[in-house]
Structure 1
Amino acid sequence: MSIYAPQTAEARARRTRTGRILAVTALLVGAAVVGPQAFASDGPVEPVAVDVYTVGTGETLWDIAASLTPAGDDVRDTMLDIQHLNAMADTALMAGEQLYLPVE
């Protein structure tokens, strides 16, 4: 036997609504705290001189990076620079695509 009175539908709805409001408020506070940090940088960024290059048919990122890499340097480092500069997720290229290439 329960010593508590049975809850009405109105009381359950009020409790559910209060829980949702608290959850949304917690998410908004979390976003306000973490959100700006997602866009923050480590410090001032120096501008980089770039050339715009149009990818030709059959060209790969390796080919393009190899033509820019000075003798004795690693082509993979140049590839990473190009990927970072163009916000590329992978090394796939399409003919006609334009890339920013670092000027040295």
Structure 2
Amino acid sequence: MAAMTVSPAARTFPSAPRGVSMPHGAFGLGGLRLTVRGRVVLIAVAVLVSGAFLGLGGRAFASDPGRPTEVTVHTVAPGETLWGYARQVAAPGEDVRDVVAHLLDLNELSSVALTVGQTILLPAA
């Protein structure tokens, strides 16, 4: 007897009528089945990805545009520091560190270093 070879395209499946091959879907995944472990992994990945997106959305903060501040323009003299200005304009009981942070923001400075002759804005009060 001669051995009969069957090409992959001619293979048939028990549920298909004789001589008809099953379609393999758009991605060639016809007949693909997930095991219980595969379903658990797929659900866990979906939960982690959606949780990451929900976590990022929960960190949005809104702020008011801020109140206008009356300021005076001051030219830095030798020996003057931003911390010294903060002590002068701080209200009684107000933390000087907060005032320094406000002055940095008001003048759009990246550090507390000042140079002689530089002009800065100070709150008028």
In structure 2, the CA distance between the partners of 1:72 and 1:45, relative to structure 1 (3 Å rule), is closer
**Which AA in structure 2 matches 1:99?**
I
Q: Which of 32, 39, 47 matches 2:68?
A: 47
In structure 2, the CA distance between the partners of 1:90 and 1:73, relative to structure 1 (3 Å rule), is same
1:1-104 mapped onto 2 (5 Å cutoff): 42=63, 44-104=65-125
SS at match of 1:100: strand
In structure 2, the CA distance between the partners of 1:79 and 1:44, relative to structure 1 (3 Å rule), is closer
Between the aligned partners of 2:94 and 2:110, the Cα distance in structure 1 is 23
Which structure: greater helix fraction?
1
Q: Which has the higher contact order (CA 8 A, sep 6+)?
A: 1
Identity %: 38
Runs (5+) with no aligned partner, structure 1: 1-40
Runs (5+) with no aligned partner, structure 2: 1-61
**Which AA in structure 2 matches 1:91?**
V
SS at match of 1:51: strand
**Which AA in structure 2 matches 1:100?**
L
RMSD: 1.8
Between the aligned partners of 2:121 and 2:96, the Cα distance in structure 1 is 16
TM-score between the two structures when normalised by the length of structure 1: 0.54
TM-score between the two structures when normalised by the length of structure 2: 0.46
Superposed CA offset, 1:7-60 (max 9, x none): xxxxxxxxxxxxxxxxxxxxxxxxxxxxxxxxxx95544322111111110111
In structure 2, the CA distance between the partners of 1:46 and 1:59, relative to structure 1 (3 Å rule), is same
Between the aligned partners of 1:78 and 1:44, the Cα distance in structure 2 is 19
